[in-house]
Amino acid sequence: MNIYDIAERAGVSIATVSRVLNGSPNVSTKTKAKVLGVIEEAGYTPNVFARGLGLNTMKMIGVLCTDVADIFYAKAVSVIENALRQYGYDSLLCSTGKNIEDKQKYIDLLLAKRVDALILIGSIFKEETDNSHIEKAAAKVPTVIINGLIDVPNTYCVTCDEYQAMYDQVIHLNKKGCHDILYLYDVESYSGLQKLNGFKDALKHCGFGVNPKLIAKVDKDMSQIEATVIELLDADIHFSAIIASEDQLAIGAMHALQKKGLRIPEDIPVIGFNNSLLCECAMPKLSSVDNMVETLCNTAVNVLTDVFDGKTVTNKMTLSAKLVERDTFKL
């Protein structure tokens, strides 16, 4: 018998079983009695090695992202694997793609491998309507979502306040005299909408209307990004600055500006988002919002270890972002 069997027979999560085994006071008397009754009936005594998680731990964490080739996700995976290794855990990585059926398939695959928990990287794992794939997973193992927010039992969300971060950048640009700001984004996930709403609300705060012509949704394709910005310039749609929801989008926009003979930041300042390695590779070097991916990932792993130890853990943690100034914009 293992932790999954105990949890299933008792009708509780494995986190609850772990709390009972570790003597946590955050379990009701009724639930504690139920779990201990199942364990006693099975005649099982957990050993010292297994007590951290419960019974017969695999010391394995399932990690999921939609595209490991994405520079943000690749960085997150690297940080998570290193952090898990320090706690003696290994990881199984699945790159799911964006299709909901594929996400569910890989979650099921990891659960079948008896992983001790799941870490989902990115808010794109939260769907607009149906999040049963996360609910079903969290009913079996602790589930952490990095930079995504969902209210489901046994889920733990570690997010960056990207709304405020984007809001702040508009305010900074406005103080520099930039009032017509082009905004480029690629997805309408929880993270994507937080940034977009922060952008719009900051414009309203500054007393400007939201010009739909200056909000463009583009794919992460450099030629498309360049073409979109050039098309706006050729149509005499004026903008005095560019903010992008991803560094790659910002760099594509910079290429377009340079092709049209515009100087950065003298003519048009540019701000990216994620503070990825691309910022240092760009010419000029890209100023970008650091959404604290390393801190987010390390915090996520710390949250998991606290859950395994039966500690009381908040279901939502929010970190602040900061602007890293380089050549394309300075405060």
- Mean pLDDT for 299-316 is 92
> Helix 293-308 to helix 71-86 angle, to the nearest 10 degrees?
40
- Give the residue among 7, 89, 19 at the shortest CA–CA distance from 312: 19
Question: Please, which residues have CB within 8 angstroms of residue 325's CB and are 6 or more apart in sequence?
Answer: 287, 331
Architecture of domain 162-291: 3-Layer(aba) Sandwich (3.40)
Whole-angstrom distance, CA of residue 16 vs CA of residue 181? 49
Q: Residue 61 pLDDT more than 70?
A: yes
Q: What is the band of 56 on the pLDDT scale with cuts at 50, 70, 90?
A: low
Q: What is the band of 41 on the pLDDT scale with cuts at 50, 70, 90?
A: confident
| Residue, of 108 and 57, whose pLDDT is higher | 108
pLDDT digits (tens, 9 = 90+) for 149-206: 888 899 999 999 999 999 999 999 999 999 999 999 999 988 999 999 999 999 999 9
Return the pLDDT at 50.
42
Q: In what order do the strands lie in the sheet with 181-185?
A: 215-217, 181-185, 241-244, 270-273, 287-290, 322-324
Return the pLDDT at 45.
52
Which CATH number is correct for 60-160+293-320, 3.30.360.10, 3.10.310.30, 2.60.120.380, 3.40.50.2300? Answer: 3.40.50.2300
Return the pLDDT at 43.
66
Task: Specify the range with the lowest mean pLDDT, choosing from 14-18, 98-102, 289-293, 326-330.
Answer: 14-18
Return the pLDDT at 53.
45
Q: Residue 283 pLDDT more than 90?
A: yes
Residue range(s) of every CATH 1.10.260.40 domain in the chain: 3-42
- Mean pLDDT for 81-104 is 94
3-state secondary structure of 14: helix
DSSP codes of every residue in 215-279: EEE--S-HHHHHHHHHHHHHTT---SEEEESSHHHHHHHHHHHHHTT--TTTT--EEEES--THH
User: Residues 210, 181: contact at Cβ < 8 Å?
Assistant: no
For the chain, percent of residues with pLDDT exceeding 90: 69
Return the pLDDT at 324.
98
Task: Specify the range with the lowest mean pLDDT, choosing from 17-26, 133-142, 250-259, 299-308.
Answer: 17-26
- Mean pLDDT for 211-230 is 96
Please provide the average confidence, as pLDDT, over all residues in the chain. Answer: 90
pLDDT digits (tens, 9 = 90+) for 106-127: 999 999 988 999 999 988 887 7
Whole-angstrom distance, CA of residue 185 vs CA of residue 303? 30
SS3 helix, strand, coil % of the chain, rounded to 5?
45, 15, 40
Residue range(s) of every CATH 3.40.50.2300 domain in the chain: 60-160+293-320, 162-291
CATH no., domain 3-42:
1.10.260.40
- Mean pLDDT for 276-301 is 97
- Give the residue among 125, 247, 122, 121 at the shortest CA–CA distance from 184: 247
Q: Encoding tokens for residue 109?
A: 């695959």
